[in-house]
Structure 1
Amino acid sequence: MSHNERIIAVASTNPVKMAAAQAGFQRMFPHLRFRVVSVAVASDVASQPMTDEETLTGALNRVNNAVTAQPDADFWIGIEGGVQAHADELGAFAWVVVRARTGLGKARSGTFFLPPVVADLVAGGMELGHADDLVFKQSNTKQTAGAIGLLTDNAVDRRQLYEQAVVLALVRFKNEALYLPAAPGP
């Protein structure tokens, strides 16, 4: 390992999440080299988080579980997709949490609203990826384009949606001096 290579432990085996982490880190720190390692850990929330809070909790749990499983990494990242009801619609989004020895960065992806046929299946207890597969007659879409890719004809895919949130979660690491606790006054 070279002195400027950093290890990113991605708290997932999903290739979309791994690619989003790699791309987001590389965009924010182009002078560094990153090696992404997959860490299969639990989110300790429902397989389909149904609220903003549960989704954020899942991302935080993934990060903490990844630290335990891969303690020698430089960064740990948890990406958790979820949904939240807004009036009579179901919005879909993801929380991204990045942990390093110097702190914790968090960001939420953009939100898009699911078509009623998909939203009804998810509200009935089906995981979003399975609902997408059923409605769009495809398989394993959560490891490829995801709902957003299917709905936009890949104008935005799941990796791109997550990558932007990874970049936003890294803001505090790119600007660490601004995030240090204020010095006590006189």
Structure 2
Amino acid sequence: MKEIKLVVASKNPVKIQCALQGFQKVFNHSKILVEGLSVPSHVADQPMTDAETLQGAKNRATNAQAASPNADFWIGIEGGIAEPEDKMEAFAWIYILGSEGSGKARTASFDLPPKIRELIHQGIELGIADDMVFKRSNSKQKNGAVGILTHDLIDRASYYEPAVILALIPFVNQELYF
């Protein structure tokens, strides 16, 4: 059985879990060895645009590759906020580096409630705003805003996992992409 070493550019157990699950589904005949590594995103703690969020994911993957070069893949996962049409939506970008090239994908987005929007406008990060509004502790390393708002029909790991799989499309179709 082939071994694939994956470095997740985060120590957050949710990000490690969703990356591992996505890779296990795509590379189901391989053993996935996963390591979490804390690296900077070089963007704001709470990215406020689509472009900034993608840049944060890309920076995390690149920084993970530089810090731990002996792997097969490096993945950056960055949650962000955008404000189209007087609403505030949450989403994440997934950016994967491999020896052949890169792949990226964005999660679905969902609208945040006005109370959370107010706190974010005050400079508070989404995970902390969730904890304040919903009287939780460290929700960003658990079910996150998506889990809280869907009453755990979709938790944070299952929300990110399809985007991990989509970001791997170029790697499983190399003849089309690289």
Does TM-score exceed 0.5, indicating one fold?
A: yes
Q: Among the aligned pairs, what percent are the same residue?
A: 52
Aligned counterpart in structure 2 of residue 98 of structure 1, from 86, 96, 99: 96
| 1:165 equivalent in structure 2 | 163
2:98 paired with 1:107? no
State the TM-score, normalizing by the size of structure 1.
Answer: 0.94
Please state how far the C-alpha of 1:29 moved relative to its aligned partner: 1.2
2:44 paired with 1:51? no
2:27 paired with 1:29? yes
Distance 1:14 1:165 in 2: 17
| 1:65 equivalent in structure 2 | 63
Distance 2:72 2:27 in 1: 14
Please state how far the C-alpha of 1:124 moved relative to its aligned partner: 1.7
State the TM-score, normalizing by the size of structure 2.
Answer: 0.98
Q: Please, which runs of 5 or more residues in structure 2 have no aligned partner?
A: none
Please state how far the C-alpha of 1:87 moved relative to its aligned partner: 1.3
Distance 1:165 1:119 in 2: 24
Distance 1:139 1:86 in 2: 29
Please state how far the C-alpha of 1:123 moved relative to its aligned partner: 1.9
Count of equivalent residues = 178
SS of 2:140 mapped into structure 1: helix
CA RMSD of aligned residues (A): 0.7
SS of 1:96 mapped into structure 2: strand
Q: Please, which runs of 5 or more residues in structure 1 have no aligned partner?
A: 181-186
Paired amino acid for 1:177 = E
4+ residue segments displaced more than 4 Å: none
